[in-house]
A = this chain, B = another copy of it.
Amino acid sequence: MIIVLKPRTTKEDITRVEQMIKRRGLDTHIVEGQEVTIIGCIGDTTKIDSKPFEVDSSVDKVMHVQEPYKLANRAFHPEDSIIDVSGVKVGGGNLALIAGPCSVESYDQVLEIAKAAKASGANLLRGGAFKPRTSPYSFQGLGLEGLNILCEVKKAVGLPIVTELMSPEHLDVFNEKVDLIQIGARNMQNFDLLKQLGQVDRPILLKRGLNATYEEWMMSAEYIMASGNENVILCERGIRTFETYTRNTLDLQSIPVLRKLTHLPVIVDPSHAGGKWWLVESMAKASIAAGADGLMVEVHNAPENALCDGAQSLKPRKYDELIKEVSQIAQVIGKSI
């Protein structure tokens, strides 16, 4: 942490700021420039709150040298983390291929989709039971009934399941039944919920918030890890920009950036990003070419009758073709499915 002082700061001011720093267990080093004086803070600053310094009347600004997270930081954990999702490995060269309908609608629907997806190569089954919807008048998901359908299909087909948790109220039932607990974009900074995920034995799939910087996303992973659960998989799903033709702008630079910042696996959800099925195929291939650790794709047998987001779902036959091409691209960059 570097503290830049205002021009014309007195000796007393410098001493006062130095003491604030030392009280937090850090050492200081002063550099007097031509126009400004700066104070370098020496020691572990990853957990120091810089706000109090910003308010001091002599301080112009505070600059960070270290990232403000530790458990998620690759600097302190150089090897890729490999997360075990009920036997399916994710990260370190192992791809997660998550597929399934946006919403769970019925046992038959999920069963049919799950069988087809598995046959194409999917290794995890997704399906929404509790749905975050912008409008109170839209279909909100089947809730616990939907969760039970997923569990039955899991038994029948043998794919571990992924579904979204929206409320601390269902923490126990998710911990019991769900193989990979998804935290949606809109809850990425629901800090209360994040803290409670430390009590859970299951790995967490943490989606990027629509307006979350890489650092904020890392901080949310750090919340979960600091609460006691280090099994976090990150999921890029697009950010909000000025462009409205697509629902969100898929930020594939996040893949190499996160590879550098963190040891956690990073997968991509191309279905939610664009909001249109005809964008999914090219973005799925691009994600794997960019080095993603997996894909989460919406697959629906009858998108035109879907209760939610059918517009962004692939039919099983399209998904099958996609996975064939994805598999070839994975080979080119040294991964295999």
Contacts and interface: CB of A to CB of B under 8 A. Distances in A.
Nearest to A302: B55
Interface in A230-244: 239-244
A89 interface: no
B226 A213 contact: no
A15 interface: no
A222 interface: yes
Interface in A97-144: 132-139
A65 B36 contact: yes
Interface string A251-270: 11101110010000000000
Given A33-B42, A136-B226, A329 B253 contact: no
Contact of A250 (B66, B132, B211, B253): B253
Interface in A3-48: 4, 7, 29, 31-36, 38, 40-44, 46-47
Interface centre among A257, A260, A273 (most CB of B within 10 A): A257
A7 B74 CA distance: 13
A52 B305 contact: yes
A315 to B, nearest CB: 11
A333 interface: yes
A149 to B, nearest CB: 21
Contacts of A283: 252-253, 256, 290
Contacts of A210: 211
A132 B311 contact: no
A139 B308 contact: no
Contact of A239 (B41, B241, B310): B241
Q: How many copies of the polypeptide does the oligomer hold?
A: 4
A40 B63 CA distance: 13
Contact of A304 (B35, B47, B57, B63): B57
Interface stretch (A79-87, A174-182, A184-192): A184-192
A245 B75 CA distance: 17
A101 to B, nearest CB: 13
Contacts of A51: 306, 308-311
Interface in A288-309: 288-291, 303-306, 308-309
Interface stretch (A151-159, A164-172, A199-207): A164-172
Interface of A: 2, 4, 7, 29, 31-36, 38, 40-44, 46-47, 49, 51-52, 54-57, 63, 65-66, 68-69, 75, 132-139, 166-169, 186-187, 189-193, 195, 210-211, 213-216, 219, 222-223, 226-227, 239-246, 249-253, 255-257, 260, 273-274, 277-279, 281-283, 285-291, 303-306, 308-311, 313, 325, 328-329, 332-333
Given A69-B135, A252-B286, A282-B291, 19 more contacts: A33-B65, A34-B42, A49-B137, A49-B138, A51-B310, A55-B277, A55-B303, A135-B222, A136-B195, A167-B168, A167-B193, A186-B191, A215-B245, A239-B241, A241-B241, A241-B242, A249-B253, A250-B253, A289-B290
- The list of the 10 closest CB pairs from A to B, nearest first, reads A211-B211, A289-B289, A286-B286, A31-B40, A286-B290, A167-B192, A285-B289, A55-B310, A47-B137, A186-B189
